[in-house]
């Protein structure tokens, strides 16, 4: 199979190379007329880097100017997103608004125009064209998030190749995405947001995101604490200089009720102060009985621009979630296949107790600062403090023992209580310099970042041996036994558990990094290195580690827009927790990647593809049916794969997002699972999403969309339990005019009952049931 996908990749590259030779004629026909003198971000004329007669300046990294998107009456009406701060006038002392009717150039944090992003900072920490980053990056903008009706970060990733978005099916507690065979780490505005177990974190709503970016492959040279498979970086909505806003009311399946709003604009007439206020309130049930999904969140922010060279932004986020655990940990029999009587456990059945809950309170503040000293140097700083409180009580099936009766209907149950207080402070300060050495231009970035993660968790547990019928649940009964602060426990239900055993975790990490983005004619290169110092405290034991990581990449940009590349990267990931006497060591990995990016001049679409080879050590593994051996840090993995994606506008009416990925992810640790596919990782993933916007007079404003997601079969880590493949269908209909938008979205349109994953320890997770949501938005 590996030879097959490599041959497929080579064949595709040959085809694209042929197209690249023909693309100039196509681009000439499709590209809009270029203005007489386009400007770069410094307000200076930007000649094309593909012109061999061009004389390079003494300072400035020169990039090809972005062609302005084709402006039509329809897109002008839909372009309600506020514009970014304009390029700097020569003698300006304060920002000024753009001329009416103009379209602002995209930046790494601005709204994505349509489905195709052109800029990113996730792969370089600098505002860089996507086509100039020698690594696989997918960007899901706010328009695509809206069109697909995404209600969670998991939802936003379902059409991204290489990503298992719903790795553990429907889970009300956490977003569980896997990238290239590894658990993804979540970042927000370039600072890490998630650490350790899910009770130390919180779920952030995609409505607060301007874009969600997936960087596949190592990112440790820039971020330090990053897994080898990749990261998810959310870019929050920020204050804009143009007044605008919206309010939306939604209703859907499982009594889903939600109101959300987003408003932004200038505070003062001189444009120096601007604000944004985004919020939502949700009252909802879920596909599992007695498990709610309520949320209240608000995100105020303000930006101060004393001059066009300086920007200070404060972002707040306050959130309260009241939900429960939708994961019931039911046995194979009754989920993956029927029990001995041919019965399947209804996916809505709840194995817990009526007092169970999963409640989270969050308060965080972020400071973003940027100052341009001149056309050479720019200083940037980002820091955030987050305080998270989680109160978790859960009752669930004993997956180790399984059924306790011959009819396979009755199980024993575990009870678990945890109260967790987490504080995270992280900061990143860097200096960027643009200059030239002869014909070689440079964009050099050097910086220091620091992370401090602290968590205190109190736990309690109990066990019910009274038997619980998962087909006909009866609550408030059972024979519970456990321990409390006095050393003994006997109670009727798990909500009576008394928390008294507290354990502390702490990770601190300091990193120094440097990176050079270079260009020589059509050649683009990037090199970087980083030194990390990390301390991992578990209980009274402190484990200190340090590491040096490297990255390098080389690209060649053809005039046709075809850009092949090769890159190498390393990862270093401190892991919270571990036995008190021996905290976990950092995970380390490396990756080789060969790929291409293709976007002809003027085209509103792009194709990205890559093959890669990953190796990782010190993975915390769970492949054992013995609870005492869970969490062993002996894992090594070898992952090879292929990905291809197409995103953009095929015609004036049709937008498409499609992709395919092949992931051969095997354990390579010398244990009982050596050579097996990593659990929950399908070898094959494929997806296609399309939106058709009508332009006929009698249908103007209407759009319809549909999508299909194919999730290949997966296995448990012992390769004994096979989870079947599944194809899921999504759809949407919308109508939009100047101030109103109505939409209806359906996910898993056929309401297929499917299992997303099963583990060797004995349990399975159900996938998402059909959900239909309709919403009405007023824009102002």
Output the domain CATH number for residue 564: 2.40.170.20
Domain count, the chain: 1
Supply the pLDDT for residue 634: 76
Supply the pLDDT for residue 490: 59
Helices (H), 153-276: 153-156, 220-223
- Residue 76 located in a structural domain: no
Q: In whole angstroms, give the CA distance from residue 366 to residue 312.
A: 11
Residues 6 or more apart whose Cβ sits within 8 Å of residue 38: 45, 46, 65
- Read off the DSSP letter of residue 761: T
Supply the pLDDT for residue 495: 58
Beta bridge partners of 443: 434, 517
- Residue 98 located in a structural domain: no
User: What are the CA-CA distances from residue 596 to residues 276, 592, 644 (Å)?
Assistant: 38, 14, 10
Structure tokens at 192: 């890490």
First vs last Cα of the chain: how many Å apart? 54
Supply the pLDDT for residue 89: 38
pLDDT tens track for 308-321: 999 999 999 999 99
pLDDT tens track for 504-532: 889 899 999 999 999 999 999 999 999 99
Q: How many CB atoms lie within 10 A of CB 363?
A: 14
Structure tokens at 271: 């444009």
- Residue 369 located in a structural domain: yes
Supply the pLDDT for residue 491: 60
Q: Which residues of the chain have pLDDT under 70?
A: 1-104, 483-484, 486-496, 577, 580-581, 622-631
- Residue 112 located in a structural domain: yes
Supply the pLDDT for residue 54: 36
- Residue 100 located in a structural domain: no
Indicate the SS3 state at residue 200. helix
Phi and psi at 383, nearest 5°, equal -145, 150
Supply the pLDDT for residue 595: 97
Q: In whole angstroms, give the CA distance from residue 6 to residue 12.
A: 10
- Residue 342 located in a structural domain: yes
- Residue 524 located in a structural domain: yes
Supply the pLDDT for residue 690: 97
676-702 burial, b at 16+ Cβ within 10 Å, e below that, comes to: bbbbbbbbbbbbbbebebeeeeeeebe
Q: Which domain holds residue 267?
A: 2-71+81-93+106-779
Structure tokens at 225: 């604490």
Q: How many CB atoms lie within 10 A of CB 186?
A: 20
Supply the pLDDT for residue 671: 78
């Amino acid at each position: 199979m590996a030879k097959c996908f490599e041959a497929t990749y080579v064949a595709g590259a040959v085809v694209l190379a042929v197209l690249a030779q023909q693309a100039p004629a196509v681009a000439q026909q499709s590209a809009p007329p270029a203005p007489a003198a386009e400007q770069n971000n410094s307000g200076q004329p930007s000649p094309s880097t593909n012109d061999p007669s061009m004389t390079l300046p003494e300072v400035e990294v020169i990039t090809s100017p972005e062609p302005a998107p084709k402006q039509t009456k329809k897109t002008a009406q839909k372009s309600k997103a506020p514009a970014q701060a304009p390029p700097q006038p020569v003698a300006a002392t304060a920002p000024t608004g753009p001329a009416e009717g103009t379209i602002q150039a995209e930046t790494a944090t601005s709204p994505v125009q349509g489905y195709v992003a052109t800029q990113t900072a996730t792969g370089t920490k600098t505002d860089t064209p996507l086509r100039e980053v020698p690594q696989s990056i997918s960007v899901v903008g706010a328009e695509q998030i809206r069109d697909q009706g995404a209600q969670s970060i998991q939802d936003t990733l379902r059409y991204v190749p290489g990503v298992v978005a719903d790795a553990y099916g429907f889970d009300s507690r956490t977003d569980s995405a896997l990238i290239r065979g590894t658990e993804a780490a979540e970042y927000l505005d370039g600072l890490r947001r998630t650490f350790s177990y899910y009770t130390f974190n919180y779920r952030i709503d995609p409505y607060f995101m301007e874009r969600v970016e997936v960087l596949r492959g190592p990112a440790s040279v820039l971020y330090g604490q990053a897994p080898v498979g990749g990261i998810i970086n959310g870019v929050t909505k920020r204050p804009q200089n143009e007044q605008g806003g919206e309010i939306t009311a939604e209703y859907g399946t499982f009594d889903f009720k939600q109101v959300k709003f987003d408003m932004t604009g200038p505070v003062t007439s001189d444009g120096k102060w601007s604000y944004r206020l985004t919020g939502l309130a949700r009252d909802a049930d879920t596909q599992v009985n007695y498990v709610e999904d309520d949320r209240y969140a608000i995100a105020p922010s303000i930006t101060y621009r004393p001059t066009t060279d300086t920007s200070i932004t404060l972002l707040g986020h306050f959130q309260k979630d009241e939900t429960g655990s939708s994961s019931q940990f039911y046995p194979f029999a009754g989920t993956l296949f029927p029990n001995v009587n041919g019965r399947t456990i209804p996916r809505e059945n709840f194995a817990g107790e009526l007092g169970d809950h999963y409640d989270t309170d969050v308060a965080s503040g972020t400071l973003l600062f940027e100052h341009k000293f001149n056309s050479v140097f720019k200083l940037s700083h980002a820091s955030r403090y987050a305080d998270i409180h989680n109160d978790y009580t859960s009752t669930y099936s004993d997956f180790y023992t399984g059924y306790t009766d011959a009819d396979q209907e009755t199980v024993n149950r575990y009870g678990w209580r945890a109260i967790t207080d987490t504080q995270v402070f992280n900061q990143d300060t860097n200096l960027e310099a643009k200059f030239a050495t002869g014909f070689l231009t440079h964009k050099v970035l050097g910086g220091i970042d620091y992370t401090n993660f602290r968590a205190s968790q109190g736990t309690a547990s109990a066990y019910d041996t009274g038997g619980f019928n998962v087909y006909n649940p009866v609550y408030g009964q059972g024979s519970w036994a456990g321990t409390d602060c006095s050393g003994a426990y006997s109670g009727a239900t798990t909500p009576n558990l008394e928390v008294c055993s507290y354990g502390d975790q702490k990770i601190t990490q300091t990193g120094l990094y440097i990176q050079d983005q270079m260009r020589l004619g059509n050649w683009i290169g990037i090199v970087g290195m980083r030194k990390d110092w990390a301390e991992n405290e578990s209980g009274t034991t402190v484990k200190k580690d340090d590491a040096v990581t490297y990255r390098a990449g080389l690209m060649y940009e053809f005039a046709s827009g075809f850009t092949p590349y090769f890159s190498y990267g390393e990862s270093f990931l401190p892991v919270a927790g571990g036995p008190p006497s021996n905290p976990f060591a950092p995970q380390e990995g490396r990756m080789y990647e060969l790929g291409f990016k293709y976007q002809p001049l003027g085209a509103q679409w792009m194709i990205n593809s890559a093959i890669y080879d990953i190796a990782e050590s010190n993975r915390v593994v769970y492949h054992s049916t013995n609870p005492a051996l869970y969490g062993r840090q002996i894992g090594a993995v070898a992952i090879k794969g292929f990905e291809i994606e197409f995103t953009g506008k095929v015609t004036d009416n049709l937008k498409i997002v499609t992709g395919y990925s092949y992931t051969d992810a095997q354990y390579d640790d010398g244990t009982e699972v050596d050579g097996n596919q990593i659990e929950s990782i399908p070898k094959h993933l494929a997806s296609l999403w399309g939106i058709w916007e009508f332009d006929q007079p009698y249908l103007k404003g209407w759009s319809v969309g549909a999508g299909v997601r194919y999730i290949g079969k997966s296995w448990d880590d012992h390769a004994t339990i096979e989870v079947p493949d599944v194809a899921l269908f999504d759809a949407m209909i919308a109508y939009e005019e100047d101030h109103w938008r109505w939409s209806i979205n359906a996910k898993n349109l056929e309401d297929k009952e499917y299992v997303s994953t099963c583990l060797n320890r004995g349990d399975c997770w159900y996938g998402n049931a059909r959900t239909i949501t309709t919403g009405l938005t007023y824009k102002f």
